[in-house]
């Protein structure tokens, strides 16, 4: 029995456990503000990181927008640049063709037939081949085979390219070759052709593809240098 003025202490174990549980809850409530502060801090840090990422994405978007603007401006100038490029290509091709205007190519001459001096060989061969008396005598700046050496018995001899010293002699040989057609050397067919740039040769080949149609229609035509075709009424193409 408790006396007056004293505080009774529960002796029931279940009451003690309940008291301990209440005290723990009270202590937990006291710690909750600290946990909330930590969570708020974590959320603040996360928010700052997200804001930084958003700012980074905005910078990227601005950079992409600038790139698109630049590309758009460049696309707008493409037609003019294409026209300029075509003009420059035409000028380069014309210069290349002019630099080759004194060159001819000879096809079908057997390998090693020229011996060790190709220029001397051609000086003797061409007058006999086309029946031309050159005055002054033929002279060449350069003359040689094109490509790596082949066997002497090769059935596909390398072409010979020759650069004449005088332009009028170049024209004489080409004119004779066109008029007389393929010549013959020791039973081998010899053909002569002008030496054009790659682009001009492609154009000439494209024109020549129409020859069968023109012949079928009985239309007279010709192919002028470097790559212009005309028909009997004088109309020019290319």
Query: Phi, psi (5° rounding) for residue 105?
Result: -115, 135
DSSP tag of 29: H
CB 49: neighbour CB atoms within 10 A? 10
Closest CA to 197 of 92, 74, 63, 66: 92
Query: Phi, psi (5° rounding) for residue 214?
Result: -65, -40
- CATH code for 102-195? 3.30.70.1820
Q: Please give the pLDDT value at position 210.
A: 80
Distance CA 109, CA 125 (A): 11
Reported as a single tens digit per residue, the pLDDT across 97-137 is 999 999 999 999 999 999 999 999 999 999 999 999 999 99
Query: Parallel, antiparallel, or unpaired for β 103-107 and 160-164?
Result: antiparallel
- DSSP states of 132-150 as a string? ---SSPP-EEEEEE-SS--
| Extents of the domains making up the chain | 43-100, 102-195, 197-238
Query: Does the structure show a pLDDT above 50 at 55?
Result: yes
Reported as a single tens digit per residue, the pLDDT across 177-219 is 989 988 999 899 999 999 999 988 888 888 877 878 888 888 8
CB 25: neighbour CB atoms within 10 A? 10
State the pTM of this model: 0.60
**Region 47-64 average pLDDT:** 81
Q: Please give the pLDDT value at position 122.
A: 97
- DSSP states of 73-129 as a string? HHHHHHHHHHHHHHHHHHHHHHHHHHHTTTEEEEE-PPTTTTTT-HHHHHHHHHHHH
Distance set, CA 21 to CA 10, 15, 34, 224 (Å) = 15, 10, 21, 112
Distance CA 137, CA 192 (A): 19
**Region 65-93 average pLDDT:** 87
Name the strands in the sheet holding 103-107, side by side, starting at the edge strand that comes first in the sequence: 140-145, 160-164, 103-107, 188-194, 183-185
Reported as a single tens digit per residue, the pLDDT across 5-29 is 444 445 556 667 777 777 666 666 5
């Amino acid at each position: 029995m408790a006396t007056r003025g004293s505080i009774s202490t529960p002796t029931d174990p279940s009451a003690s456990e309940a008291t301990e549980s209440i005290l723990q809850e009270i202590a937990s409530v006291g710690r909750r503000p600290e946990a909330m502060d930590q969570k708020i801090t974590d959320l603040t840090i996360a928010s700052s990181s997200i804001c930084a990422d958003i700012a980074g994405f905005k910078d990227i978007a601005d950079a992409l927008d600038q790139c698109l603007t630049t590309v758009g401006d460049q696309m707008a100038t493409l037609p003019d640049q294409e026209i300029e490029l075509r003009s420059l290509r035409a000028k380069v091709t014309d210069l290349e063709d002019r630099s080759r205007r004194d060159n001819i190519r000879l096809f079908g001459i057997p390998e090693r037939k020229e011996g060790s001096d190709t220029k001397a060989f051609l000086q003797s061969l061409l007058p006999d081949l086309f029946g031309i008396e050159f005055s002054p005598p033929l002279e060449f700046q350069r003359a040689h085979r094109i490509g790596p050496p082949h066997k002497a018995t090769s059935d596909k001899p390398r072409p010979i390219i020759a650069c004449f010293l005088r332009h009028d002699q170049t024209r004489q040989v080409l004119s004779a070759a066109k008029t007389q057609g393929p010549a013959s050397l020791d039973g081998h067919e010899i053909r002569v052709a002008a030496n054009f740039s790659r682009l001009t040769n492609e154009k000439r080949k494209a024109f020549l593809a129409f020859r069968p149609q023109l012949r079928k229609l009985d239309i007279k035509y010709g192919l002028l240098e470097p790559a212009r075709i005309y028909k009997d009424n004088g109309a020019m193409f290319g």
